[in-house]
């Protein structure tokens, strides 16, 4: 996707993402969620609004997401 003029810089997103991570108590495994939230916040502040094609961050811990369950841990039948 092409970058528009209202898209925040990578450095700005990185810094905002860091502050979000700090505010949430430095949780492990939430980097993508923090990045997407930071980008959306900065874009909204710039008047661009959220990207409608961006994935919605999940509040389910990565280790418990269905796509992260190991096949050898699943009991079938």
Residue 45's pLDDT is what? 85
Q: How far apart are the first and last CA of the chain?
A: 44
DSSP state of 73: G
Question: What's the confidence (pLDDT) of residue 47?
Answer: 75
The C-alpha atoms of residue 20 and residue 28 are separated, in whole angstroms, by 13
- pLDDT (mean) for 61-75: 53
Residues with Cβ within 8 Å of 12's Cβ and at least 6 positions away in sequence, in order, are: 42
Model confidence over 13-54: pLDDT tens digits? 999 999 999 999 999 999 999 999 999 988 888 875 556 666
User: 3-class SS at 45?
Assistant: helix
- Greater confidence, 41 or 65? 41
**What is the distance between the alpha carbons of residues 70 and 34, in angstroms, rounded to a whole number?**
25
pLDDT of residue 75: 52
């Amino acid at each position: 996707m092409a970058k528009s003029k209202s898209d925040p810089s990578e450095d700005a997103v990185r810094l905002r993402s860091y502050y979000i991570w700090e505010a949430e108590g430095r949780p492990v495994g939430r980097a993508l969620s923090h990045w997407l939230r930071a980008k959306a916040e900065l874009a909204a502040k710039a008047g661009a609004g959220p990207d409608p094609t961006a994935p919605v961050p999940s509040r389910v811990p990565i280790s418990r997401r269905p796509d992260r369950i190991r096949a050898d841990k699943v009991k079938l039948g």
